[in-house]
Every structure is written in C-alpha cells, then in structure tokens.
C-alpha cells in the first residue's frame, strides 16, 4: 500500500507520525498515527494498537494519551487508527447524532444499507492495518497487543476474543462490555447489522465469552466517577461473564475518575507496562 505522510515529528526519543492511505476495507482514505521509538538498525519492535471511542479520531489519543515516554522506555510501537471511515460519500446518522455513523464505527463489518459499503472497521483493524504496519514500519507483527477506550475498549475486547492467536494481550479503559445491553450498543448494532440480535453476539465481549471465546487474561480500568458507568459501560457484566467462564480478568475500579483522557493518561503507562511484559514472551 502507498502511504502518504501527513506529518512527522520528534518526541521522547522517537518519531510520531500521522499517515493516510487508500483503504480496500472501507473504500475510503483512512488516517492513523504511529509512534516508533528509536531502535537499532534492522531491529523490529512489538506493537500496541489503540482503538479510540465515540466521536474520536486518532488525534485524540495522539495529542492527549501521554504514551510516548512509556513506549520509548519499553520499546513499543504505538498505533492509533481512526474510529470510522470518513468522506463526503460516507453515510452518517440521519439526525447527526454523535453515537452512530461518522466517528462511531463500533469496529464492526456493517451489513445494513447504506452502511455496508464503507463501515468495515472489523476488517480494517484485523486484517488491513496489520498488513500495513508490518510492511511499512519496523514492526514485529507476531507480537501485537490491543487496547482501547469506551467504544474502542469494546473493539479491543471483541477483536482479541475473536483472534486469540493474533494478539498477545488485551486491555481497556472504561469499555462498553456488552453492546447487547446498553443504549449505545443497541443503536449501533441494530443500525449496522439489522434486527437479528443473534448476529450481534460476535460484537459483544460478554456474549463471546459466554459462547466459548477466551484470551490469556484481561486488564480493565474503570473510573467510579464516569457518568456512563451505570447506563452504558456496566463492567459488572464483564466481571460476571468472566467469573462464570473462568476467564482471567483484572477489573480495577479507580475512585473518582471520569470518562476523559485525564483518566486514560493517568493509567496509560501501567497498561503499556502490562502489555510489554506479555509481548516479551
């Protein structure tokens, strides 16, 4: 694939870049950011993929995530894709709502018109982005971790559970753990996939675990001051599904923290250290 370099800048002993390419999965141009720490010539580095939440693009974590110092110290490439296809021809929510359409791809392969043509973020993350990072950066794609926030936490959990051999570890900040059981998820999955709730289960972390999917372990941080905690995120559902299935999970309730990047950046280095330990295996 041909990459267009939008920007490159030195930071924390590495290079922070933003790139654009024509995506075969979405049929649109897609942007993503990559931080590459300084490294020996010819060396390859493990990769952490970060999936962002509703209304976000790669810019939010790139500017606010405070990951570069930790990635430089740990020798991790940090990749942040966009959250949806974009462009004049890409359909959006009919009423312009923030929780569906542009900026809200939910990391699914849509089947419902008019979204099926472009909203294929599952294929984009699982297949196309992997191939691109392996081809164009000094990445060891046999050592990849995935993490995310909110909608991106949902994406990270479900992608890892569906592709255990592709990801060494998975973590999340304030994830939507069960889209089948919250307003955000019900709106998104019905809009992208139709009314058959059985088709939604492959995009629900709790349902995937109930249906037999497993990963080595899961790390989740959730703020107790998050205003979406009770209505949208429901981490107790993940804890219950994991307990019933003997799926290891560490759920840390962080007192007073909200849903913002103040919360994410506070615990980002701990998550990266957790992933680094597993990526060295």
Among all residues, which ones are annotated catalytic? 150, 226, 259
Distance between the two ends of the chain, CA-based, in angstroms?
A: 30
The answer to whether residues 83 and 56 touch, using CB atoms and an 8 Å cutoff, is yes
Instruction: Please give the Cα distance from 190 to 170 (Å, whole number).
Output: 26
In 3-state terms, what secondary structure has residue 267? Answer: helix
| 275 cis-preceded (ω within 30 degrees of 0) | no
The answer to whether residues 79 and 133 touch, using CB atoms and an 8 Å cutoff, is yes
Q: What stretches of the chain adopt beta strand conformation (E)?
A: 4-11, 14-22, 29-37, 45-51, 77-81, 139-149, 169-173, 218-223, 249-254
DSSP state of 101: B
Instruction: Please give the Cα distance from 108 to 210 (Å, whole number).
Output: 19
Beta bridge partners of 251: 220
Q: Is 27 left (phi over 0), alpha (psi -120 to 50) or beta?
A: left
């Amino acid at each position: 694939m041909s990459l267009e370099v939008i920007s490159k800048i030195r930071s924390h002993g590495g290079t922070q870049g933003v790139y654009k390419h024509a995506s075969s999965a979405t049929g649109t141009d897609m942007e993503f950011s990559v931080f590459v720490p300084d490294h020996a010539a010819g060396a390859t580095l493990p990769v952490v993929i970060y999936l962002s939440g509703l209304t976000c693009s790669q810019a939010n974590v790139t500017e606010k995530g405070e990951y570069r110092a930790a990635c430089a110290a740990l020798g991790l490439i940090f990749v942040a894709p966009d959250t949806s296809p974009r462009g004049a021809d890409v359909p959006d929510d009919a009423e312009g709502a923030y929780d569906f359409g542009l900026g809200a791809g939910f990391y699914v392969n849509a089947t419902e018109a008019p979204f099926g043509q472009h909203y294929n973020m599952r294929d984009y993350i699982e297949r196309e982005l992997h191939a691109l990072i392996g081809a164009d950066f000094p990445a060891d794609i046999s050592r990849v971790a995935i993490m995310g926030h909110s909608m991106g936490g949902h994406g990270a959990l479900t992608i890892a559970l569906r592709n255990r051999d592709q990801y060494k570890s998975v973590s999340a900040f304030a994830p939507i753990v069960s889209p089948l059981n919250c307003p955000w998820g019900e709106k998104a999955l019905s809009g992208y996939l139709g009314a058959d709730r059985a088709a939604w289960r492959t995009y629900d972390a709790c349902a995937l675990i109930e249906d037999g999917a497993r990963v080595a372990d899961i790390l989740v941080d959730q703020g107790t001051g998050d205003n979406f905690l009770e209505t949208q995120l429901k981490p107790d559902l993940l804890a219950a599904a994991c307990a019933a299935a003997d799926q290891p999970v560490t759920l840390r309730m962080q007192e007073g923290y909200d849903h913002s990047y103040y919360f994410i950046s506070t615990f980002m280095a701990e998550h990266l250290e957790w992933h680094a330990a597993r990526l060295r295996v």
